[in-house]
Amino acid sequence: MQRKTGRCLCGAVRFAYSGSEIWCGHCHCESCRRATSSLMTTFVGLPRSAVTFSGAAPRVYLSSPGVRRLFCGTCGSPLAYQSDRWPDEIHLYAASLSGPEEVTPQFHAHFQEHLPWLELADPLPHNAGSGD
């Protein structure tokens, strides 16, 4: 089983997991855009039990009821999303992986919140997997 790794910008917080991702998708919701200061973000969904952190422990920001956003306390890099809505999953930011090209997005979530000037030509379904 291939082990995948990732880290924050400064390398203080590292993570690893083995096994297959449950899913991979782009999120366009306003909350994720603000948390990452980007047009959208891409997550990989994994069983919580599959992910281990090493180095410094990630800090936690309670961004809304039942939602925890994990980040590096040194450099501020966002690392993961956890929600009471999916208690057995952790959603890692694909860009924090050592090999982000090794995961393939399957959908756009919360596409109705995408920025109107962002034009996407990929054939991925919109809103699949968003829970909407």
Q: Which residue has the higher pLDDT, 81 or 127?
A: 81
- What's the average model confidence in pLDDT over 60-65? 95
What pLDDT is recorded for position 17?
98
Cβ burial of 106 (10 Å; 0-12, 13-18, 19+) is: middle
CATH code reported for the domain at 3-112: 2.170.150.70
- What's the average model confidence in pLDDT over 15-37? 95
The domain segmentation of the chain, as residue ranges, is 3-112
Longest dimension (CA), the chain: 41
Comparing CA positions, the residue from 26, 23, 45 lying closest to residue 118 is: 26
pTM of the model: 0.91
Three-state SS at 75: coil
